[in-house]
Structure 1
Amino acid sequence: MYVRPSDDDGINFYQDSDGDVIGFEYLLFAQFEFVGLSVRKQAAKALFEDNEKGGFLKQIIWIIISYMQMTEEQVEIWSSDANQFVADDDDETFNYSVRVAAIDLLQILLDKFSEQALQALADTTKHLIEESDKARVAGDTGWWKMQEACLKAIGYVSDDFLLAIQDSKVNFDLSGLFEHVVFNHIAATGRAIVFSSQFATFLSEEFASRYVAATVEAIQRIESIPVKVSALRALQNFCRHLDTQYVAPYQSNIIEAVATLLNVTSEDSLILVLETLEFAIKINNEVTAGYEHMIGPLIIDVWMKNPTDHLVVSVITDLFESLAGNTAAYSSFQARALPSLVNIINNVTDSAAIASAIDLIASLVKGGPSPLPSSYVEHIFPSLIHLMLIHEDRSISQSGEVCLKYFIQKDCGHIAQWTDTSGKTGLDYVIQYIAKALQPKESESAGFLGDLVVKLIKKAGNRIVPVLPELLKAAATKLEGAKTATFIQSLVMIFAHLMLNQLSTVVEFLNTLDINGRNGLEILLNTWLENHESFQGYYSIKVSAIALSKLFLSGDPRIQGIQVKGDLIVTNSSRIMTRSRSRKNPDQFTYVSANVKIIKLLISDLQNSSDSDVKRSELDYDEYDDEDSVETDDECDEWEDVEEPSPFAPAEDYVVLSEYLDKGKDLDDVDDDPDIKEDPVYLTNLRDYLTDFFRHCAMQNENNFVQLCSELNEDEQQKLQSLVNGKHT
């Protein structure tokens, strides 16, 4: 069996004349890949499913688990290198090995044969554990490797395995495994610790307490690197899946142990330690506050040493947000952290480090009280806004816009009152930055600019009325030439928010704008209606959809008179469309009135919204670009997808309509912004709202609705008809 690759003096592979790697390990890779491909073939189905009640499947899984055993080389390396063990043992590892290849094949079998494969895994595990017990009795020092591999295999599919047992679809004595195998080795093997945490929801109260205690003990006292690392992973699972009562008694022990490890870890193991600390400080805020004097300096020191490491900074930012949100720890922590952060933005030239410091300041502002401590506006805000006005770096702009948004949200009044030596107020400077970012020559990197402007309009109120027309004109002008999807959405949202409560004023204002010979209202509607379907965020999609419905209901003839792109004109050509051909023959569209397009888009929104309007995952899509196609050798005549995937699931932003409030939904994809969560639009059930909208329009023939619907395609008409008749699509 492949468990001793170091016996050949470390020479594990060779290269052939073409430079390709050859050797036993790579032969195994090829064989596992072949079996994985065979599993997907219909011809092989009978071999796996009908062979003596899964006998062949059991044989394959027996081989898989056998090859999942640690090699002697791995045992040696992992015992001395924590970073290597963390990287290799992660379920999402990029370090390919025979062990990883075996796990991949196991996953393929489970995907294909589901319950049958799970039962085969259960039966094989029982047999292999019995055999390893015999090997232990016989004096084989490597007996534990097979049991570790069995626990690794079952733990990897723990969710499916436990569900199958609970549904009586798999017969396996999981309790017996815990009592006679796992607990007996909990202090000796890291795998047993991780395994217990992967089945945390299955554990009895007694076992849960015992395993948590053993895990904390492993972090504090056991010197073995694999065991200590495994205990850190297990603690995260316990904190995630068990009631707080099981881990709360050990919070102090965990914080102290993890704090000690922060001083001696680096790279991958550092990330793991930081993530565990993040879980620990959320257990009880009062206990955490008592350790701020220990935690604060450590995480600040880690950040100061790694200000441009994106993985480290990401976890540090989460830790900052947790401590900033802890009212008992906030005062001391922010006083400790701010001097270092302000020093970075004032005296360092590295853009990545500056952006990172701004992100951490933003987390302190976001978690702080309202109004903020005076030092924020008096000392930090001036440094931040000055930096943003002179820097052109994209990361600084984006981080700064988010930070400014939180400043405006928390303490707009103080910013409006603050003045520099020349008499300019803080709001003057914020508006100056927005105007700068909206200049035609500026890049479209300011993806959060719209959020900042919307927040400014809401919080500053009458203070910015004199300059608002110029800001809106600049936004409309910038929108005319905008190309980036996220930037377009950011700008459109400014107008969508305003239209929710001041529709006629905004329409009138836009109609008076002349931008390079085009009407401002025409520019907005063309861009908005062309991009609405690609807007992201639960709240923004609601804001956009409801604002469009209000535009339609306004009955303004100027809206009806604007022509926009309708449906794609499908050609009957059977020729493959390469990019070069697409450039010469771009897609053709029908043209319809803006009101018809609004109906089309809202029908699509209604179809995409769920029955209960529950939260959808926010998906991050890179902007679509002509250069994103796959290259070929045919002089860039790369293939083009005939269809792009329908981008998404509803998103983020707001309006009125309290009669459609949908109570009790904890939707957390709005960055925990209390202003948004309290907004009636955010709470509006979009499906119910749009259903009522269409039925009302059909019954009252609002704005010639019935006549406009004759311009819909057949599929849209059928959906609308079933809706009006009381049937959900």
Structure 2
Amino acid sequence: MEEGFSDETFYGVVRDLVKTMYDVSVNADNKPTIRALAVSVFRGSLNTLETVMEERKAAVKQFADEALSVWIPFFIEVLESRLPPPPPEDEENQDGGASEIFRGLVVLKIQVVKVLMRMRSVFPSTLSPHSPALFSATWNELSALQEPYHLMYIEEERQSRLEDADHLPYTLDFLVLEELDFMQACLRASPVRKELEQQLSGHASAEGTWVTQVMKVAVAYAQITTEEEGVWNLDVNIFLSEETGVTANYTPRTACGDLVIKLGEWLEDYTVDGLLSYSRSLYSTGHSWKAKEAALYILNQLLGDLADMQRCIKPEAAEGFIEFIRYAMQQNDEFLRARGHLVAGSLIKASDGNLQAVAAQFMEASLRAITTDESEVVKVSCIRALQPYLPAAPANITMPLQPTIIAALAAFLSTQDVSDMAESDDLMVTLVNTLKSAILLNTQICIAPDEDTAMGPNGEPHAGAQGALNLLFTLASHGANNFQLTMLVNETFEDVARSIAASGYDAYVRLCEKVLPGLSGAFDVGALTDESALTSLAADLLSTLAEYGSEPLPQGFVAASMPKLNRLLLGSSDGQLLRAATVAAQNIIAHDHKQLFEWQDPETHKGGLEVMLVIIDRLLSPSVEDAAAANVGGLAAEVVEKAGRERLGPYLEQLLRAVAVRVGSATQAAFIQSLIFVFVRLSIVSPHEVVEFLAQVEMQGGESGLAVVMRKWLENSVNFAGYDEIRQNVIALSKLYDLQDPRLAQIQVKGDLIVPQSDRIMTRSRTLQNPDQYTVVSAQLKIMKVLVDELLSAAGGGPQGMAARSGLAAAQQMAAEEAAEEDEDDDDEWEDDLDTLDLGLGVTKRDLMSYDQPNSAFGRAPDDETQAYLVNFFREQSAKPGFGEMFAALSQTEQDKLRSMS
């Protein structure tokens, strides 16, 4: 708030504004749209009040209580008022008359619900006492709107999701959506819960209770609209995106699913019983197929949530739903039939093995439908339904069906135009996900002859069937630009390669025989069509194949793969492709350097070692960006280790000098780590030689290579990722420290962050004006500081994580105290989900943003081996002369850490 703008002035303005908006809103002589606009402005004032509430909490709370005590009766009155009948379809967009009145009242009701949702967020304790009346009014409204909603959207195809010139939504579907969300919110209000729980007392089941009535409302609004039916028939990919929940299209159907999920998390048994009871009434009468499908859709949402929470449906309830699923699978209506297959898979997964007798029947029915059903929607639903079946059903059911499943997927793919499918992301991902689940039942199927899998659903030969990996690579080749799909393909192939390699050398050889020709072809196709994504995927798969390879690799592995990699690494400028190809080359030399060094490039006639040196030289040159060359350090380190000083000769110093020079200009953390690890791995073996060599290298500006490399090394160690890499870094630094080389003591590096003595919030502009300041310490002392921090990190919590956790605890304590001050009566609290984080807390944001950091509380688990090494190191150091002086130079916090950990 600006200086000179007093509290009295501000609250005077707000009071006048709120009173004016109230007068406009309640005046029945005004058009409903004008009244709705006034309500919308009032909602905006709540945002302003929330902004100033931190500094003037008591005053804002008092004002809100006064204002809302006047507004809430008006809101209840609007909710309790009934809409007139909707206008005929050909008149609904006319100005004036009944059409305009209907639209205006819908707009007004929507804005009222939006205000209530905002109040619930900003002033929950003020709204909570009114929650039973609001819940009752919303419930009655939703009950009354079922018939017009059904007419307009389930039978007819009225326009939906429309807004007026003031950006106020005015169609009935928006009102239903808002009220379903508000009803769900009301279920978390303590007064509402108490009243509803009281109504359930004395009822052993949900039959005849309000829970069953909720199911009736949910099923009514969860029915497939005419618009959805038409769109899903035209594009099965849209159907799948809605089914998998990856769409941003939030509809009354999805809101009903969320409503029942929340109810199930509160009253699980009553919710399941209520849905079962209402389903019996639906399926025993002449209700439409849409209502029956909606009931199964709600069940599917409920089962999915139970699975997510690792809970199971009661056996008797599961048995009760089976007859409805069987009925649905046999109907002519394709969406009902598709829903039956989808729910069958979810039910088996959520039944905890209690439905083994029907699991095989349901799976076989889905497999038949993939190849025989006329409906595309049913086919893809059955493909998706296999995903929950395969991990949930017992092995004696799934294993015999593995070849049949893969053959069915291949048969489906053979009926599609794969080039067109590449644009159907959800369908492609569904196919790969299902194929992954099938392959992982037994990865040995990937090295079986293709004819072993070429059988149809009924055991007959199927001419179009392909091998499992052939099918996987076919999908991958047409979806290489889809990030999610390529991740799934990589994950699947990694599991296959790891499993088959673990089963023996012969099995791994057969895998290479199957895979290498296809990967070689993918490199060629990618080069011809300029498809860098396909080439990158092939390089990733080749890298994985080599990573889990035998030692030595099968004969011919290098000859089959290196020409392609060499061409890419010397000619490509694509960063992703260069990174993938570099790792592939690194894995090859790590597993079989002898075969690589004996290989000769058929085009240039250079030996394998020379080829590698040329590749490294190119990647270290300034012409290649840091991000593209991010993995060159690992490749260079492998070449140095495997070739040795004698074989490298004068090339060793040239290579190390080039690495040191590139360290000086590197800025990206991953690239710096990659380069530094050339010296890390050498320091573990010969720390003195590393120091001697770097001290002799003269860098730009006259500094020694030792100063430049050690500065980058020590200032970036905190960002190093990977357990093995961190452990090697710790060992290398301890070896360097043990040298007690005076040249290290003379190098000055960044020490600790200097925290400014100010409680001002650091905005971006202030941060730019006042950049972080650090102390300056010797490299020798910095090594000690890094090792102390790594000692704590190895115990399972890095310094950042510890700070975050302590800060989070303090923030939570503060929040608890503020909540207690705001409302001492817990009965009036509006309960939130227990697992919901307050993203407004800075420490929470920091926790989430540091999730993938190696030294964060979340990203680093205990490392006993590194911890034991460091404990032993510090014990040895404490017995050496001069350690007391070094210990005294540490900060008090670091000294405390060292005492507590070692």
Structure-1 residue corresponding to 2:55: none
| Counterpart among 135, 152, 157 of residue 305 in structure 2 | 157
Residues 1:344 and 2:525 aligned together:
yes
Q: Which runs of 5+ in 2 are unaligned?
A: 1-145, 201-208, 330-336, 452-465, 501-506, 802-841
Q: Secondary structure of the equivalent of 2:889?
A: coil
Q: Distance in 2 between matches of 1:366 and 1:651?
A: 22
Structure-1 residue corresponding to 2:781: 596
Residues 1:447 and 2:630 aligned together:
yes
Amino acid at match of 2:241: A
What is the CA deviation profile of residues 643-680 of structure 1, one whole-angstrom value per residue up to 9, with x for unaligned ones? Answer: 9658457869xxxxxxxxxxxxxxxx99xxxxxxxxxx
Residues 1:690 and 2:870 aligned together:
yes
Structure-1 residue corresponding to 2:719: 534
Structure-2 residue corresponding to 1:707: 885
Structure-2 residue corresponding to 1:404: 585
| Counterpart among 398, 417, 421 of residue 598 in structure 2 | 417
Q: Secondary structure of the equivalent of 2:686?
A: helix
Q: Check whether the contact 1:69–1:145 (CA below 8 A) recurs between aligned residues.
A: yes
What is the CA deviation profile of residues 477-522 of structure 1, one whole-angstrom value per residue up to 9, with x for unaligned ones? Answer: 1111211111111112222222222222212222222212222222
Structure-2 residue corresponding to 1:437: 619
Structure-1 residue corresponding to 2:447: 289
CA drift of 1:535 comes to 1.8
Residues 1:84 and 2:269 aligned together:
no
What is the CA deviation profile of residues 30-63 of structure 1, one whole-angstrom value per residue up to 9, with x for unaligned ones? Answer: 44555677788xxx44444575359699699755
Distance 1:395 1:287, change over 3 A: closer
Q: Check whether the contact 1:412–1:459 (CA below 8 A) recurs between aligned residues.
A: yes
Q: Distance in 1 between matches of 2:150 and 2:721?
A: 49
Q: Check whether the contact 1:148–1:191 (CA below 8 A) recurs between aligned residues.
A: no
Structure-2 residue corresponding to 1:7: 155
Q: Check whether the contact 1:193–1:231 (CA below 8 A) recurs between aligned residues.
A: no
CA drift of 1:368 comes to 5.5
Q: Distance in 2 between matches of 1:708 and 1:88?
A: 62
Distance 1:380 1:580, change over 3 A: same
What is the CA deviation profile of residues 432-457 of structure 1, one whole-angstrom value per residue up to 9, with x for unaligned ones? Answer: 12122212343102122122223323
Q: Check whether the contact 1:539–1:651 (CA below 8 A) recurs between aligned residues.
A: no
How many percent identity over aligned positions? 28
Larger radius of gyration: 2
Q: Check whether the contact 2:694–2:704 (CA below 8 A) recurs between aligned residues.
A: yes
| Counterpart among 672, 675, 683 of residue 488 in structure 1 | 672
| Counterpart among 19, 27, 32 of residue 175 in structure 2 | 27
CA drift of 1:261 comes to 1.5
Distance 1:50 1:722, change over 3 A: farther
Residues 1:514 and 2:727 aligned together:
no
Give matches, 1:29-48, under 5 Å: 29-32=177-180, 34=182, 44-48=189-193
Q: Secondary structure of the equivalent of 1:52?
A: helix
Give matches, 1:112-151, under 5 Å: 118-142=265-289, 143-151=291-299
Structure-2 residue corresponding to 1:52: 197
Structure-2 residue corresponding to 1:551: 736
Structure-2 residue corresponding to 1:175: 315
Q: Check whether the contact 1:562–1:593 (CA below 8 A) recurs between aligned residues.
A: yes
Q: Distance in 1 between matches of 2:150 and 2:412?
A: 31
More displaced, 345-354 or 89-98? 345-354
Distance 1:284 1:533, change over 3 A: same
Aligned length: 652
What is the CA deviation profile of residues 68-103 of structure 1, one whole-angstrom value per residue up to 9, with x for unaligned ones? Answer: 454454455445643122111114443332233444
Q: Distance in 2 between matches of 1:127 and 1:67?
A: 17
Distance 1:58 1:510, change over 3 A: farther
Distance 1:526 1:25, change over 3 A: farther
Q: Distance in 2 between matches of 1:124 and 1:345?
A: 53
Structure-2 residue corresponding to 1:655: none
Distance 1:711 1:322, change over 3 A: closer
Structure-1 residue corresponding to 2:47: none
Residues 1:428 and 2:593 aligned together:
no
Q: TM-score, normalised by structure 1?
A: 0.79
What is the CA deviation profile of residues 363-390 of structure 1, one whole-angstrom value per residue up to 9, with x for unaligned ones? Answer: 4544665545555433542242133212
Q: Which runs of 5+ in 1 are unaligned?
A: 111-116, 166-172, 617-640, 653-668, 671-681, 725-729
Amino acid at match of 1:97: T
Q: Distance in 2 between matches of 1:228 and 1:195?
A: 17
CA drift of 1:713 comes to 3.0
Q: Check whether the contact 2:346–2:388 (CA below 8 A) recurs between aligned residues.
A: no
Structure-2 residue corresponding to 1:308: 481
Q: Secondary structure of the equivalent of 2:481?
A: coil
Q: Distance in 2 between matches of 1:453 and 1:38?
A: 62
Q: Distance in 2 between matches of 1:723 and 1:708?
A: 17
Give matches, 1:97-116, under 5 Å: 97-104=251-258, 109=262
Residues 1:390 and 2:548 aligned together:
no
| Counterpart among 712, 715, 719 of residue 897 in structure 2 | 719
Q: Check whether the contact 2:257–2:298 (CA below 8 A) recurs between aligned residues.
A: no
Structure-1 residue corresponding to 2:399: 248
Structure-2 residue corresponding to 1:273: 431
Q: Secondary structure of the equivalent of 1:467?
A: helix
Amino acid at match of 2:611: Y
Amino acid at match of 1:706: G
Q: Check whether the contact 1:324–1:333 (CA below 8 A) recurs between aligned residues.
A: no
Structure-2 residue corresponding to 1:634: none
Q: Check whether the contact 1:317–1:360 (CA below 8 A) recurs between aligned residues.
A: yes
What is the CA deviation profile of residues 314-352 of structure 1, one whole-angstrom value per residue up to 9, with x for unaligned ones? Answer: 444455556666537525523651452242355343433
Distance 1:526 1:81, change over 3 A: same
Structure-2 residue corresponding to 1:674: none
Q: Check whether the contact 1:320–1:360 (CA below 8 A) recurs between aligned residues.
A: yes
What is the CA deviation profile of residues 408-427 of structure 1, one whole-angstrom value per residue up to 9, with x for unaligned ones? Answer: 23432232123346652121
Amino acid at match of 1:90: T
CA drift of 1:223 comes to 4.6
Q: Secondary structure of the equivalent of 1:515?
A: coil
Q: Distance in 2 between matches of 1:237 and 1:37?
A: 31
What is the CA deviation profile of residues 707-726 of structure 1, one whole-angstrom value per residue up to 9, with x for unaligned ones? Answer: 323233333332322234xx
Greater helix percent: which structure?
A: 2
Amino acid at match of 2:752: D
Amino acid at match of 2:900: S
The RMSD of aligned alpha carbons is 3.8
Structure-1 residue corresponding to 2:382: 231
CA drift of 1:696 comes to 3.8
Q: Distance in 2 between matches of 1:703 and 1:530?
A: 27
Q: Distance in 2 between matches of 1:334 and 1:590?
A: 55
Q: Secondary structure of the equivalent of 1:518?
A: coil
More displaced, 147-156 or 267-276? 147-156
CA drift of 1:176 comes to 0.9
What is the CA deviation profile of residues 574-605 of structure 1, one whole-angstrom value per residue up to 9, with x for unaligned ones? Answer: 44433333333211111223333333333333
Q: Check whether the contact 2:348–2:355 (CA below 8 A) recurs between aligned residues.
A: no
What is the CA deviation profile of residues 514-563 of structure 1, one whole-angstrom value per residue up to 9, with x for unaligned ones? Answer: 21222222222221222222222222222223322333333333333332
Q: Check whether the contact 1:57–1:120 (CA below 8 A) recurs between aligned residues.
A: no
Q: Check whether the contact 2:315–2:351 (CA below 8 A) recurs between aligned residues.
A: no
Q: Distance in 2 between matches of 1:59 and 1:572?
A: 61
More displaced, 574-583 or 400-409? 574-583
Q: Check whether the contact 1:151–1:191 (CA below 8 A) recurs between aligned residues.
A: no
Q: Check whether the contact 2:429–2:484 (CA below 8 A) recurs between aligned residues.
A: yes
CA drift of 1:694 comes to 3.2
Q: Check whether the contact 2:486–2:537 (CA below 8 A) recurs between aligned residues.
A: yes
Q: TM-score, normalised by structure 2?
A: 0.65
